[in-house]
Structure 1
Amino acid sequence: MPLQPPDVSWLRGEYAEECYSFIYVRTTPEQVVARLGGRWEDFTPGPFPEGPDAYSAPGAPVGVTSIGDWTFLFDPDWLGTCEDLITELSRGTRLVSQAALGVKDLDYFYWCEDGEIRFGWGGDDGFLTEVPAELAGTMEEIDRLYPSLPRLYRGPAFLLVEHLTGIRMTEHLLESSRFRWGVIPPATRP
């Protein structure tokens, strides 16, 4: 079935001036928090913030929630770009990470399998790795939908996430998910 472009206007609007990382790990939220050096019992329930100003300070909490067999981690910083961290989080499983700062037109995307980066895209450098055969068809569809290949955070990253995780991220999905929020140790941060 052909890919359909996602509506990401909500990220280009009020979130465009803020940095964010969306990290998807095929494991439980408790395991993700533990791998980050946090304590699950210190994470408290709460909704996804209504606006980016709610979490823009350094050391702000990260949010975790389950989406099917996946844990979705929201970080209001560049956690999803720290290669040592994401490869460690991917040990024994799959991880997909996207991070962006729209106001500076910067974005990063990683797909990791069992501690190895399989595909990477980074800011002004573009492709950090060759496109693996598993993504060739999806990349062809993305080229068809976005002939000028805009920055990945403007749509293509969400199609790659959907292909690799089965999750179509939407504003509604974020707002209706039950998050737990907590601070991870500063040593974890890049």
Structure 2
Amino acid sequence: MITPPDDYAWFSYERFPDLTEAYCFTYIRGLTPEQLVTRLGARPEDFTLMTLEELIATSYRHGYGTAFLGATTIGDWVFVVEPNGGIGADEGIITPLSAGTRLVSHFRDVEGVESFYWSEDGEIRFCFIADDGYSEEAPEEIVESMQRIDSDYRHLYPSEGPAFLMAERLTGITLTPELLEGSTYLCGAIPESR
């Protein structure tokens, strides 16, 4: 059973003040954290293991021109956390990164702009960008979830549950605060010129 969007109310400013206002969560099937961070341009000698709290604090010390992210394994997936980052919402990066696999991401920036992407085998299958709406008609795999969101949860911003619901539907992963906070992340700095 898929979690109702309201069950993601734990992802709040009160619990995650330095993450909820600007984040990107990306799920990629079939890669290891090391493979992912290397593909994005981080140098293996710079990899560091961190807790979520350390990842968030370190990411805010990196200036413009460098993204800082952490990746961990959840089943067959690598889960990426970008505090105040948006690599997972960059079509020029996620489209080739999804070659031969599935990639799902959701993003929110400090101005409240939100997006959701599902890319598979080098093609964007579906995306939602705040203020622009849906990229196209929803693929059959997510029609039921989209109808449920449209009828029952239209009042919520994607980051208040619907994006989590869609990611869960496409990955089978129910993100929980315990999973987010209890994971160890392989972290690296990614140069903007990747």
Whether TM exceeds 0.5 here: the answer is: yes
Alpha-carbon RMSD across the aligned residues, in angstroms, is 2.1
Residue type matched to 1:61 in 2?
Answer: F
Match in the other structure for 1:24: 27
SS in 2 for 1:104: coil
Matches within 5 A, 1:169-180: 169-180=175-186
Paired residues of 1:60 and 1:183 also in contact (CA < 8 A):
yes
TM-score (norm 1): 0.87
Match in the other structure for 1:186: 192
Residue type matched to 1:62 in 2?
Answer: L
Identity %: 44
Q: Give the whole-Å Cα distance in 2 for the aligned partners of 1:114 and 1:125.
A: 24
Match in the other structure for 2:144: 137
Paired residues of 1:18 and 1:52 also in contact (CA < 8 A):
no
Match in the other structure for 2:96: 88
Q: Structure 2: 5+ residue runs without aligned partners?
A: none
Matches within 5 A, 1:97-176: 97-101=105-109, 104-146=111-153, 148-176=154-182
Paired residues of 2:55 and 2:70 also in contact (CA < 8 A):
no
TM-score (norm 2): 0.85
Between stretches 136-145 and 87-96, larger displacement belongs to 136-145
- Number of residue-to-residue matches in the alignment: 186
SS in 1 for 2:52: coil
SS in 2 for 1:183: strand
Task: Measure how far apart 1:61 and its partner are.
Answer: 2.3
Q: Structure 1: 5+ residue runs without aligned partners?
A: none
Q: Give the whole-Å Cα distance in 1 for the aligned partners of 2:54 and 2:90.
A: 26
Task: Measure how far apart 1:168 and its partner are.
Answer: 1.1
The change in CA–CA distance for 1:53 and 1:145 in structure 2 (over 3 A counts) is farther
Match in the other structure for 2:79: 72
